Amino acid sequence: MFPLKIQFKPTPGQQEPILTLSAQRLTPELEALLRRLERECPPPISGWQGDRVTPLEHHDLLRCYTAGQKVLAQTLDGQEYTLRLRLYELEELLSPSRFARISNGEIVNLKAVTALDLSLTGTIQMTLTGGVVTYVSRRYVKKIKQTLNLERRRMG
Amino acid sequence: MNRFRPYLRPALAGGLLAAAALWLLCFFIAGINLFGGSFDLADTLYRMDLATDEAYLFFGSRFWAAAYQVGTVFLLGAAVGISTAPFAEDGPTLFKQSLLHFILTGLLAVAAGWFVYPPYVVLCFYITLYALIWLGRWVGWYMEVADLRTLLGLSPAPSPLKWRETLPYLFFALTAGMAVPLLLSFIDAPDVPVLTQLLYPYMLLPVACFCAGISLGRRSGFCPLFPLMCALCWLPTAALWLNVYSLFQLLPALLPALLGNLLGAWRRKREG
């Protein structure tokens, strides 16, 4: 670990907190730290409904999925938005402790999973908040388990 | 073509292994000396046959009979070699590919055993083996999903094949399959046993199994073990009263139980 001096400057009138990192130059360690911080406090994602754009907070997202050529996001209140990001870009952007890819075309909010069932034919059915039903690809089960195990270890 | 490339190696390996196994089996059979004496390699190789006499008679040539046997065994081995491929898929694709693989491998198994065993023996053996492999895979997936449920903090999954949910209905199956028929046999007319030979097996029992199936289906969804349990509990009575050699006699318990359970499960799903 590198030496880092942490300071807090109260700024009256400041609406949103800003975290600034001051250094002589951007080293790989500092870059990694910035990336980690960015993941902890991610900027909202822009969701489109026609011409109207809405900032979507990550914790409000239920799932992001591909439908044809489009990438859609469904929020916890059931609203659907079109995203101008690819699914792999979203995967990098969203916190791995909260979101996981469950198939080639879908990322879900793991905190919104209400049921997980295995059918006799081997299909893994996942039910999300609001009764939204989706399917988990077996190829991704191992990865989801790893993510959840890591999260469990992180939480102690 | 690129889609099939990953399967070429396991198919080739499976085919070669199966052909080698056939060769070894034939070598072993040829090497058995019922009348004692020492093992003679040259003599064993000379006496070794890769196909049965029935195959030689059919093809009229030792070469073509052996070629048929080795060819079909090679193809069967290749099909077995790629048997894990359908399991990599998910959803309806998994079911479709598994079904296709099941039918193709079954046809190859019948073709490979055509001159050795009757087709129904080969098919029975094949279906049992396939069902066991499928069950093994399913239990593996069940464990994986159970782990995921724990990690997600969800309530525990239903027991494998819902055996625990089915268990309370064992009392019903025993009563309907054994106890009631036993009681009826005391009151039935000995000369014309209409109650035990006709009314109970073909009317009362099916209705009872159907209703119990609906009840279980509405409570716990589809429980595949329930129809089997009803049929097994009815088996001793059917063997005693009816034709012991006919599996058809199990249908009055098996089919209504299955249909009732499916109907109950459907209603449960519809009612949410």
Using one digit for the tens of pLDDT, what is the confidence trace for B115-163?
Answer: 888 888 888 878 877 877 777 778 788 888 888 898 888 887 778 888 8
Residue ranges making up the domain that contains A54: 42-155
Q: Would you place residue B2 in the very low, low, confident or very high pLDDT band (cuts 50, 70, 90)? A: low
Contact between chains at B157 and A118 (C-beta distance less than 8 A): yes
Question: Beta partners for A54?
Answer: A47
Q: Within an 8 Å CB–CB cutoff, is residue A110 touching chain B?
A: yes
CB contact under 8 A, B141 and A139: no
- In terms of domains, do B19 and B87 share one? yes
In this predicted structure, the answer to whether residue A66 has a pLDDT above a threshold of 80 is: yes
In this structure, is residue B215 part of a structural domain? yes
Q: Does residue B125 fall inside a structural domain?
A: no
Which one is predicted more confidently, A24 or B85?
A: A24
Q: Which domain range does residue B101 map to?
A: 5-116
What is d(CA A62, CA A70) in angstroms, rounded to the nearest whole number?
A: 17
* Residue B229 confidence class, pLDDT cut points 50, 70, 90: very high
3-class secondary structure per residue, chain A: CCCCCCCCCCCCCCCCCCCCCCCCCCCHHHHHHHHHHHHHCCCCEEEEECCEEEEECHHHEEEEEEECCEEEEEECCCCEEEECCCHHHHHHHCCCCCEEEEECCEEEEHHHEEEEEECCCCCEEEEEHHHEEEEECHHHHHHHHHHHHHHHHHHC
Per-residue pLDDT at B91 exceeds 80 = no
Q: What percent of chain A has pLDDT over 90?
A: 30
Choose among B91, B147, B154: nearest Cβ to A135.
B91
Q: Phi then psi for A109, rounded to 5 degrees?
A: -85, 110
Dihedral (C-alpha) A53, A59, A62, A68: value to the nearest 10 degrees? 40
**Domains in chain A, number:** 1
**Is a pLDDT exceeding 60 seen at residue B85?**
yes
Tens of pLDDT along B95-107? Answer: 778 788 889 989 9
For range A39-44, the mean pLDDT:
76
Q: Are residues B91 and A123, on separate chains, in Cβ contact within 8 Å?
A: yes
Among A40-49, A147-156, B181-190, the range scoring the smallest mean pLDDT is: A147-156
Residues B37 and B91 reside in one and the same domain: yes
Taking only the tens place, the pLDDT of each residue in B196-216 is 888 898 899 999 999 999 999
Residue A24 lies in a domain: no
Residue B43 has pLDDT above 60, yes or no: yes
**pTM for the whole thing?**
0.62
**Do A145 and B145 count as a contact with CB atoms less than 8 A apart?**
no
Residues of B with CB under 8 A from a CB of A: 87-92, 94-95, 137-138, 141-142, 144-145, 147-149, 151-152, 154, 157, 222, 224
pLDDT given at position A156:
60
Residues of chain A with C-beta less than 8 angstroms from the C-beta of B90: 103, 122-124, 135-139
| pLDDT value of position B206 | 94
Range from B54-63, B67-76, B186-195, B247-256 that averages highest in pLDDT: B67-76
Per-residue confidence (pLDDT) for residue A122, from 0 to 100: 78
Q: Same structural domain for residues B259 and B173?
A: yes
pLDDT value at residue B126: 84
Residues B179 and B103 in one domain: no
Measured CA distances, B48 to A7, B61, B69, B106, B235 (Å):
88, 15, 14, 27, 46
**From the list B88, B90, B144, which residue is nearest A123 (CB)?**
B90
Q: A69: domain CATH number? A: 2.40.50.1020
B213 within some domain:
yes
Confidence (pLDDT) at A108: 94
Which of chain A's residues have a Cβ under 8 Å away from the Cβ of B271? none
Packed helices B62-81 and B5-31: angle between N→C axes, nearest 10 degrees: 130
Domain annotation covers residue B216: yes
How many folded domains does chain B comprise? 2
Using the 3D structure, point to which of B81, B98, B116 is the last residue of a domain. Answer: B116
Q: What is the arithmetic mean of pLDDT over B169-175?
A: 91
Residue B128 belongs to a domain: no
Residue B121 belongs to some domain of the structure: no
Which residues on B lie below 8 Å from A114 (Cβ)? 154
Average pLDDT, chain A: 86
- Closest approach of chain A CAs to the CA of B151, in angstroms? 6
Residues B101 and B37 in one domain: yes
B193: number of Cβ within 10 Å: 15
Question: Which residues pair with residue A80 across a beta bridge?
Answer: A74
On whether residue A114 sits in a domain, the answer given is yes
ipTM above 0.85, yes or no: no
